[in-house]
């Protein structure tokens, strides 16, 4: 695996990859089996797989969340090497935001609902960095997990609206044995919180009405941002103390 830390070095390498199909997995690091499943799919479907690790400061609403976001770069490198990833792109914030974030990508409808209501500005930061990364990598396909379902919809919408030549591939959410969706933030849960967190996906998948699910979560000690049925999904975001969890499940049309 070749590790590339500057945009200029990557652009030189990218010119040499003409004629190869490239799969791209953008991440913020602290990799887990969910990320690796995206990488494995990319390896099957493309000649070259590129993974990026960039903890994007512009998509965090709270400075504390950005500071506390788990960073395990050496562990991540070893994991990617063991899964035969071709390139790891590790840019820094100064290079990615040489314009001081004066140029931003904003979506004006979908981004104001659900996550957008509770995390104002989050999706602008996310879309801005994803556009930069897609422009740099110039992949045939980019792989995104369905756990961040609203993010997935927005990335697909941006790619279509701006005529980007990259196909966005949605990949199913991977779950731990207790049903909790795999997430880098899960490592911040202590043992007691982790045991309690498993109630969240269990209730989300139940046949109970939304009001009842919210009441049950609150009774268990969760702070609920939302539970909502949209896009043929039941989506939810909750807090366990200072850790925020999001999830969604597919719901059948009546």
pLDDT above 60 (res 187): yes
pLDDT band for position 61 (cuts 50, 70, 90): confident
pLDDT value at residue 88? 98
The answer to whether position 254 is within a domain reads: no
Which residue is catalytic, options 30, 35, 122, 199? 35
Mean pLDDT value across the chain:
96
Please give the tally of structural domains in the chain: 2
Q: What is the pLDDT of residues 192-216, one digit of tens each?
A: 999 999 999 999 999 999 999 999 9
Range of the domain at 189: 184-247
Residues 6+ apart with CB under 8 A from 99: none
Q: Is 199 a catalytic residue?
A: no
Same domain flag for 207 and 162: no
pLDDT value at residue 64? 82
The answer to whether position 75 is within a domain reads: yes
pLDDT above 70 (res 254): no
Same domain flag for 188 and 132: no
Residues 115, 112: Cα–Cα separation, whole Å:
7
Residues 244, 241: Cα–Cα separation, whole Å:
8
Least trusted range by pLDDT, from 62-71, 133-142, 238-247? 62-71
Residues 6+ apart with CB under 8 A from 101: 58, 128
The answer to whether position 213 is within a domain reads: yes
Same domain flag for 155 and 75: yes
Same domain flag for 208 and 135: no
CATH classification of the domain holding 188: 3.30.1300.10
**Residue tagged 């140029």 (tokens):** 103
Same domain flag for 99 and 224: no
pLDDT value at residue 68? 85
Q: Which residues pair with 89 in a beta bridge?
A: 4, 52
Q: What is the mean pLDDT of residues 99-125?
A: 97
Q: How far is CA 46 from the centre of its chain?
A: 21
Same domain flag for 15 and 126: yes
CATH classification of the domain holding 19: 3.40.50.620
Residues 128, 59: Cα–Cα separation, whole Å:
9
């Amino acid at each position: 695996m070749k590790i590339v830390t500057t945009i200029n070095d990557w652009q030189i390498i990218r010119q040499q990859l003409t004629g190869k199909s490239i799969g791209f997995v953008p991440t913020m690091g602290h990799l887990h089996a969910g990320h690796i499943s995206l990488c494995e799919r990319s390896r099957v479907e493309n000649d070259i797989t590129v993974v990026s690790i960039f903890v994007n400061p512009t998509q965090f609403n709270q400075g504390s969340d950005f500071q506390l976001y788990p960073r395990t770069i050496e562990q991540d490198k070893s994991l990617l090497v063991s899964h035969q990833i071709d390139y790891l792109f590790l840019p820094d914030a100064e290079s990615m935001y040489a314009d001081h974030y004066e140029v931003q990508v904003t979506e004006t409808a979908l981004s104001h609902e659900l996550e957008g209501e509770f995390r104002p500005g989050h999706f602008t930061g996310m879309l801005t960095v994803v556009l930069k990364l897609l422009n740099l990598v110039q992949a045939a396909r980019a792989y995104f997990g369905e756990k961040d379902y609203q993010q997935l919809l927005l990335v697909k919408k941006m790619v279509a609206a701006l005529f980007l030549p990259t196909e966005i591939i949605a990949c199913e959410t991977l779950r731990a044995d207790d049903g909790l969706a795999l997430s880098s933030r899960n490592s911040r849960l202590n043992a007691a919180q982790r045991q309690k967190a498993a109630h969240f996906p269990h209730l989300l998948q139940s046949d109970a009405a939304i009001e009842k699910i919210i009441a049950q979560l609150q009774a268990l000690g969760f702070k609920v941002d939302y539970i909502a049925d949209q896009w043929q999904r039941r989506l939810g975001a909750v807090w366990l103390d200072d850790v925020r969890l999001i999830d969604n499940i597919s719901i059948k049309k009546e």
